[in-house]
Structures are given as structure tokens and as C-alpha cells.
């Protein structure tokens, strides 16, 4: 399939889709997590209808495979500094500010939000010109530049091609809406470790624990030069901390038990949101119902692994293989929180103990590997793999007595279980009792040999967002002087 392009849009569309930074996704996901409980309110449909939709055709580019039970949202920061947003910058025009991928694992009840720094330089695919955009040729550039040349469709395609993650939908929100969200829940409590004076962000704050209103919160998450080392990465870290605090506030009993607070919050969210036309109310509700009881420690924030670009110290490059491993894990539906895996591992451990008592393991099995395929050196290769898997290989060679038409594991009387275990690890193999054998199995590789089971499947790497990638969860409060 070819990459989708943005369809023609009505005048004023850009004013409707303004979004500053990736922190908005926390609000959007939070809204989704509680919408499922609102079915009894008569105003639910009216709130949902506030969302502006835009058409993006995704049928024109080759896309990664989607995974059932996983919903990946592209959250785009399209900073149009005009109208009510003009107070937060001097430049006019569409300026993609920041993006992230929100991976909602519905089956496992977990959410991972991966920030894609705007200073990240990647190989971008080409995009054709569409109404309002000149298009671009394939090139190396900052990951957020695709939207400038080709709109949302071009940006969607670029992120999919760079990450290999199938994106189901996109979500965009604006500055003013963010302020209203914060004010709707009574502000967000944050620890400010040191005084902040950032004229560019219109922000002056004293040090200490305090509740930020909408205006202050916007300045805090937008501030870059008045805090930390002034880098985009430092700002992303603060945004992630703020997102966690925002989620804790929204999901607090004070907000959740107040119909007025919920109404005001959802109005602020939906009036600021633009999404693709496939992100329907039904889809949102399905996600909400599935995710409404998600634990805060299973909502995680991480920045894609990166480092200084070799050609430009002011730009970033993906750190490999860590970045690719993260994207592969997300697109495979892996649970990066570790919670479900740990439970499964414990269960598997118990089952494994039972199996050890009732049947053989590779360490109990010795065998000869004989090559009946005509492929030179195959017996040695298979023997090496089996040794790695824990089997004991006594000898390799070519079959003399038994030359089967298919790959066969021969066994002596009483060794059927061992033969079945070995055959079960191979793509194509049968078992057969044979006279003359004692305690050693005989594996004869036949013309149908295709290898070991699972070799053709790329296993999702085991990654912990919080341990391996230095991420945080929504439950965590950062260490500080407060």
C-alpha cells in the first residue's frame, strides 16, 4: 500500500488543529480512561461531538503490521502561533513542536508514551504536494519537518517509516485547551526545585511545592531556557513529570466524584482535540472501558534512546540498537511495564517444575545428528544449535542404516518422551521407534528439513521502560528538594 496524504481541508483548518507539545496526550488518554464511566450522563454525546475530525488517507504507503489489542496514537505538536496562541511565540505559521507515540495495550492494561524529540534527525520519506503544502523529496531532516512540507499525512507516514510502528490514529490539541484542562481540575500540584524566571515562557515561579494553574502550567511545560540545561531533552523530562502529576490529579477522588469537574475537563479536552475521522466515539469508548481501571504504575513515559548527531552537535540521532528494540517491542504488543510478564514467568516456573518431575529436559537427552539432505555441513550446524539448547550431541555424520524420506527422530523402547521433546523443537519432524538403539536418540535430517520452530519469527526484545530506558511511571513523584 502507498502512504496516505492529507485530504483537502477547509479554510481555518490549521487554526483548529494547533498543538504545542506531547504533554497533551496525557490529558487525552486520561479522558479516554474515564469516558467509559460517563454513559449515564445525558450530555456525553454532546461532549464527544466537540471533537474536530480531519481526513487522512493512509492507503498510499506501505505500513507496518498492526497488532490486535494494541492501539498506537500519534500525538503531534503543531505549534501555530496565531490567534489566542500568539502570546506564546513570535513566529507565524505551522511549526511542529513535538511528537510522541502513545501505545495503549488494551489487552494488558498498560500505556507507554514514547517522546520523539524534535531535534531528532532521521531519513524522511518523500511526500507529494497537497493543498496548502509543497511536498518534499526523500531527505535527511528533523523528524518534525515532514508536517511542514506535507501536513498530517506526511508526518504520519514519516513516523511509521522511521519507527516501524503501526499508528492507528492521530490526536492534536492546542495551547488554550491545555490551560482550560488544568483549570478544570483545580490545578496541578508540582514541586519546583529552584526558582524559575523565563520571560520567553511568561513564567515566574518560586521554589517549593505549589499548585500551578493553567497559565502557569503551560509556561512550565513550554519553558526551555529558564530551567535545567536549556535542552529539548531536559524539557521533555519535565513534561513527563508534569503528565504524571496531571494524571494523578485527574484520576483523584476529588475530580472523579465531581460531575462538574468531569464535565469541564472533558469539554476542555474535546473542544481542543482534532483527530482523524476513523477515531470515532465508539473507538474511544471501547478504549475507555478497557482502560478505566489501569494502574498508574502501568502508565509509563520514556524518550526514545538517542545521542548527539555525529554531523551536528545541536541535533540528535537514534541510538541503536536500543531505539529499534523499543519500537519492535511496541509494535509487537509487548508489555513494557514488566508486570504481566512477571506474573506469567512465575506461573511458567511452577509449570516448569511440574514438567521436570514428569518428563525429560534437553539436558537429559543425548543424540547423534545425521545429514540426509545433501546440504554440506548441515549436521554440524544443527548439532551446534542443539548443544546451545542444552542437548548432548555425541556424533555427526551421514545416515547409513536408516535413510528416511522426512526428518525423523529415532528412539529406543522407553524413550518416546525424549524423542517427542526433540521433535517438538523442529519445524518438521516425526518420531519412530527403532531397533538397535539404546540410550541415544538418532536425528536424521531429511529433504523436508526447514529448521527449528520459531526461528522465522522475530521475538520481541525484553525491555523494561523504567529500568532499561530510564523512563518514569505516572505513579512516580520525582525526587526533589520539596
Task: Count Cβ atoms below 10 Å from residue 351 Cβ, excluding itself.
Answer: 10
> So what's the pLDDT on residue 381?
93
- The β-bridge relationship of strands 110-116 and 299-303 is parallel
- CA-based R_g, the chain, Å: 28
- Per the domain annotation, does 344 fall within a domain? no
Is 159 in the same domain as 102? yes
> So what's the pLDDT on residue 425?
93
- Per the domain annotation, does 349 fall within a domain? no
Is 77 in the same domain as 48? yes
Q: Per the confidence metrics, is the pTM higher than 0.85?
A: no
Q: Which residues of the chain are modeled with pLDDT < 70? A: 1-49, 77-97, 175-176, 224-232, 253, 256, 281, 285, 288-294, 337-358, 455-470, 472-482
Is 330 in the same domain as 372? no
- Per the domain annotation, does 362 fall within a domain? yes
Q: How far apart are CA 374 and CA 368, in angstroms?
A: 17
- Per the domain annotation, does 76 fall within a domain? yes
3-class SS letters over the chain: CECCCECCCCCCHHHHCCCCCCCHHHHHHHHHHHHHHHCCCCCHHHHHCCCEEECECCCECCCCCCCCCEEEEEEEEEEECCHHHHHHCCCCCEEEEEEEEEEEECCCCEEEEEEECCCEEEEECCECCECCECCECCEEEECCHHHHHHHHHHHHHHHHHHHCCCCCEEEECCHHHHHHHHHHCCCEEEEECCCEEEHHHCEEECCEEEEECHHHHHHHHHCCCCCCCCCHHHHHHHHHHHHHHHHHHHCCHHHHCCHHHHHHHHHHHHHHCEEECCCCHHHHHHHHHHHCCCCHHHEEEEECCEEEECCEEEEEEECCCHHHHHHHHHHHCCCCCCHHHHHHHHHHHHHHHHHHHHCCCHHHCEEEEEECCCCCCHHHHHHHHHHHCCCEEEEEECCCCCCCCCCEEEECCCCHHHHHHHHHCECCCEEEECCCCCCCEEEEECCCCCCECCCCCCCCCCCCHHHHCCCEECCCCCCCCC
CATH number at residue 298: 3.40.630.190
> So what's the pLDDT on residue 163?
94
Is 53 in the same domain as 103? yes
Is 363 in the same domain as 332? no
Is 172 in the same domain as 304? yes
> So what's the pLDDT on residue 86?
38
Is 362 in the same domain as 333? no
In which domain, by residue range, is 401 found?
Answer: 357-445
Is 254 in the same domain as 389? no
Is 243 in the same domain as 380? no
Q: How many domains does the chain have?
A: 2
CATH number at residue 399: 3.30.70.2390
Is 281 in the same domain as 382? no
Is 280 in the same domain as 362? no
Task: Count Cβ atoms below 10 Å from residue 437 Cβ, excluding itself.
Answer: 18
Q: Could you report the per-residue pLDDT of 269-301, keeping only the tens digit for each?
A: 777 777 888 887 677 767 766 666 667 777 788
> By C-alpha distance, which of 397, 410, 406 is closest to 370?
397
Q: How far apart are CA 225 and CA 214, in angstroms?
A: 20
- Per the domain annotation, does 480 fall within a domain? no
Q: How far apart are CA 459 and CA 332, in angstroms?
A: 9
> So what's the pLDDT on residue 289?
66
Return the residue matching grid coordinates 522465522: 456
Q: How far apart are CA 291 and CA 52, in angstroms?
A: 23
- Per the domain annotation, does 413 fall within a domain? yes
Q: Could you report the per-residue pLDDT of 132-155, keeping only the tens digit for each?
A: 888 899 999 999 888 888 888 888
- Per the domain annotation, does 3 fall within a domain? no
- Per the domain annotation, does 168 fall within a domain? yes
Is 322 in the same domain as 366? no
Amino acid at each position: 500500500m502507498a502512504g496516505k496524504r492529507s485530504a483537502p481541508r477547509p479554510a481555518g483548518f490549521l487554526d483548529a488543529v494547533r498543538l504545542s507539545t506531547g504533554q497533551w496526550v496525557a490529558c487525552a488518554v486520561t479522558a479516554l480512561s474515564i469516558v467509559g464511566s460517563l454513559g449515564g450522563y445525558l450530555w456525553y454525546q454532546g461532549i464527544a461531538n466537540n471533537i474536530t475530525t480531519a481526513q487522512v488517507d493512509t492507503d498510499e504507503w506501505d505500513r507496518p503490521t498492526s497488532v490486535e489489542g494494541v492501539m498506537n496514537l500519534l500525538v503531534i505538536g503543531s505549534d501555530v502561533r496565531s490567534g489566542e496562541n500568539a502570546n506564546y511565540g513570535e513566529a507565524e505559521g505551522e511549526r511542529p513542536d513535538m511528537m510522541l507515540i502513545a501505545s495503549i495495550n488494551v489487552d494488558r492494561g498498560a500505556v507507554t508514551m514514547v517522546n520523539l524529540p524534535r531535534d531528532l534527525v532521521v531519513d524522511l520519506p518523500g511526500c507529494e504536494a497537497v493543498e496548502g503544502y509543497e511536498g518534499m523529496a526523500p531527505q535527511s531532516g528533523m523528524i518534525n519537518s515532514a508536517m511542514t512540507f506535507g501536513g498530517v499525512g506526511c508526518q504520519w507516514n514519516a513516523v511509521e517509516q522511521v519507527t516501524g510502528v503501526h499508528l492507528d490514529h492521530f490526536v492534536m490539541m492546542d495551547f488554550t485547551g491545555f490551560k482550560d484542562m488544568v483549570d478544570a481540575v483545580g490545578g496541578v500540584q508540582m514541586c519546583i526545585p529552584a526558582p524559575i524566571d523565563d520571560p520567553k515562557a511568561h513564567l515566574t515561579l518560586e521554589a517549593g511545592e505549589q499548585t500551578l494553574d493553567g497559565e502557569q502550567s503551560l509556561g512550565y511545560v513550554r519553558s526551555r531556557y529558564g530551567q535545567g540545561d536549556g535542552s529539548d531533552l531536559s524539557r521533555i523530562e519535565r513534561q513527563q513529570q508534569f503528565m504524571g502529576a496531571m494524571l494523578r490529579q485527574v484520576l483523584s477522588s476529588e475530580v472523579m466524584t465531581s460531575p462538574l469537574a468531569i464535565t469541564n475537563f472533558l469539554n476542555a479536552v474535546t473542544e481542543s482535540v482534532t483527530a482523524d475521522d476513523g477515531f470515532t466515539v465508539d473507538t474511544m469508548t471501547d478504549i475507555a472501558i478497557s482502560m478505566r481501571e489501569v494502574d498508574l504504575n502501568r502508565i509509563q513515559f520514556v524518550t526514545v534512546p538517542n545521542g548527539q548527531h555525529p554531523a551536528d552537535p545541536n541535533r540528535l540521532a537514534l541510538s541503536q540498537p536500543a531505539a529499534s528494540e523499543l519500537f519492535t517491542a511496541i509494535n509487537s504488543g509487548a508489555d513494557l511495564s514488566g508486570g504481566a510478564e512477571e506474573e506469567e514467568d512465575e506461573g511458567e516456573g511452577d509449570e516448569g517444575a511440574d514438567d521436570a518431575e514428569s518428563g525429560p529436559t534437553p539436558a537429559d537427552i543425548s543424540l547423534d545428528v545425521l545429514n540426509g539432505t545433501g546440504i554440506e555441513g548441515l549436521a554440524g550446524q544443527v548439532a551446534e544449535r542443539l548443544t546451545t539448547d542444552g542437548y548432548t550431541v555425541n556424533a555427526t555424520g551421514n545416515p547409513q542404516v536408516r535413510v528416511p524420506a522426512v526428518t525423523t527422530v529415532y528412539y529406543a523402547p522407553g524413550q518416546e518422551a525424549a524423542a517427542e521433546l526433540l521433535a517438538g523443537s523442529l519445524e518438521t519432524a516425526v518420531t519412530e521407534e527403532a531397533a538397535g538403539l539404546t540410550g541415544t536418540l538418532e536425528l536424521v535430517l531429511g529433504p523436508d528439513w526447514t529448521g527449528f520452530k520459531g526461528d522465522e519469527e522475530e521475538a520481541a526484545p525484553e525491555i523494561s521502560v523504567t529500568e532499561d530506558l530510564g523512563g518514569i511511571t505516572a505513579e512516580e513523584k520525582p525526587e526533589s528538594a520539596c
